Amino acid sequence: MTIVSRIILLIIATMLGACGGGSGSSSGNSTAGAPPSIMGYTVTMNVEQVEIIQDSTFTNFMEPGDTATWGFVDEHTIYGDDKFSSKINMESWEYSTSGDKGIVDLYQSGGEHHITYAFNSSTSGNFTWIAESYSSGAMVKYSGTFTTSGHDSAGGDTSGFASTLQGTWTSVCNDGYEMSLVFSGSKFSMMPTFYDNADCSDAGDSFPDDVVGNYVIRNEITTESGMKAWQIDITYMSIDYPEDYDVSVGQTHYDIISVTGDTLYLGNDASGLGSSTSTRPTQLDFTDPFTADN
């Protein structure tokens, strides 16, 4: 398997285009496509118009044609990327609904952002995004179209399999190295640990959230060995050390996954590299299992 300063507005880097993450809350009744919760969703916003309400020489703005992708990973985290930054780590955000509109309000010490998603369908629509910087006084309004994905992620998984995944799963020691997979709600992360000794018996140095994304549980399948497995799509939203991984931010890996007792298996790359749905593995990898951390 293969899985954020100049004056920053709010940490989508030096532009006026991002903001905190946090206690995502949902209120109101949704109609015409606005979901009651946005947790586990990935939203891709295509900027078509930029209206600078208050300019500032200290602030960079997005331009028409730019794209921003946000993944609402959990109650305290939004990850994503745009032209200025590859990582967004928010601390305070709220979500509410009003008719066919989903509204995201994000606050930080440096400013605030208010995004309204008007859903024309369950997966797309138009958005307006007003961002304000407290320090520079800059304010901008973006508008354009958006699409969403990840609606059937762990939070909405009717199969119940996602609940089986919750927690930390660690690989066998491999010459002083272990990899842990962490499933928390709809959030997926990878945590490598490096040891001074080959048998991984010392304290070790761990790197939590080295890779972070969200995941979607798809269909149950029967592998070529006859063992049952589930299709899983993992979209990577943050990678601390891209050079260490054969994936990039925004990329989706199409894998399979199975749990038997305290053991988790992923797909065998020899049966499919998972770069697309058509190359999803068809066999499980029994040589590199992961064990539940109890």
pTM for this one? 0.60
Out of 2.40.128, 3.40.50, 2.60.40, 2.40.10, the CATH code matching 155-292 is: 2.40.128
* Ranges in the chain annotated CATH 2.40.128: 42-151, 155-292
Q: What is the C-alpha to C-alpha distance for residues 231 and 291, in angstroms, rounded to an integer?
A: 19
pLDDT reported for residue 24 = 40
Q: What is the C-alpha to C-alpha distance for residues 40 and 219, in angstroms, rounded to an integer?
A: 18
Q: Which residues pair with 72 in a beta bridge?
A: 78
pLDDT reported for residue 254 = 93
pLDDT reported for residue 84 = 59
Per-residue pLDDT 10s for the chain (294 aa) are 443 222 222 223 323 333 334 334 444 333 456 888 887 788 889 999 999 999 887 677 889 999 888 877 666 667 766 665 545 555 578 899 988 999 998 887 778 889 999 999 888 999 999 989 888 889 999 999 999 876 544 444 546 788 899 999 999 999 999 999 999 888 899 999 999 999 999 989 999 988 988 888 888 999 988 999 999 999 888 888 878 888 887 788 999 999 999 999 999 999 999 998 899 999 999 999 999 997
pLDDT reported for residue 1 = 44
Q: Which fold has domain 42-151?
A: Lipocalin (2.40.128)
pLDDT reported for residue 174 = 94
